[in-house]
Amino acid sequence: MRKISLILSVFIIYSCSQNEYRIEKGKVGKLIKENTVRQLDSIYSNDSIVKRIGEGDYMFSGDDKYLIYSRNKEHLLTLTPRNQHDPSEPIETIQIISDLFQTRKGINVNSTFGDIDKKHQINGIQNTINNLIVYVDNIDAYFIIDKKNLPLELRLGTENKIEKINIPTDSKIKRFMIGWN
């Protein structure tokens, strides 16, 4: 009986620590889609939050950003609410900074395009001036990949339609973002 209790306790502790950094649809670690700015202090009570509140005039003010650091001073996440200066606003975008955070299938900031393509369904690829944006809807994610990884004829301009086959599998993720609209 003691052995079963011990094994069960270890399993529960392990599961909880894994979920603290799990990325799923509507959830990033301890944060869920419905959380607001007001709740961040309690959600991250064991961590440190650096609040960069946007300043400036109407059109030229920056976004509010909330940088989440672990007790070990490791930058984990950067959170941006939908609208600034309002504690009742939900979080709209999350930049995943730490490789502790990963999807159930093991994708994190150190993954490659090939890893993403193998483990998640890609819903779209957007060609921008300097980057590609790869959308994975089943986890509310988009990945930014530098166009320098593409063949020269596909790097210039935004009019080329980029397909999965055009992106080298070893292309590194530049940014791992979660978008909750």
Predicted confidence pLDDT, tens digits, the chain (181 residues)? 555 544 444 444 444 445 899 999 999 999 999 999 999 999 999 999 998 887 655 665 678 899 999 999 999 999 999 888 888 899 999 999 999 999 999 999 999 999 999 999 999 999 999 999 999 999 999 999 999 989 888 888 889 899 999 999 999 999 999 999 7
CA distance 134 to 112: 12
Assess contact for 177 and 94: CB atoms under 8 A. yes
174 touches 146 (CB < 8 A): yes
User: Domains of the chain (ranges plus CATH)?
Assistant: 2-179 (2.60.460.10)
Query: What are the tokens at 93?
Result: 């975008």
Judge contact between 30 and 20, C-beta under 8 A.
yes
The pairing of strands 91-96 and 102-103 is unpaired
- Exposure of 114 in the CB half-sphere (CA atoms within 13 A): 5
Structural contact between residues 80 and 63, judged by C-beta atoms closer than 8 angstroms = yes
pTM over 0.75: yes
Q: Which residues contact 1 (CB under 8 A, 6 or more apart)?
A: none
Q: What is the pLDDT of residues 63-76, one digit of tens each?
A: 889 999 999 999 99
Both tokens of residue 123?
A: 């819903």
- Calculate the average pLDDT of the chain: 88
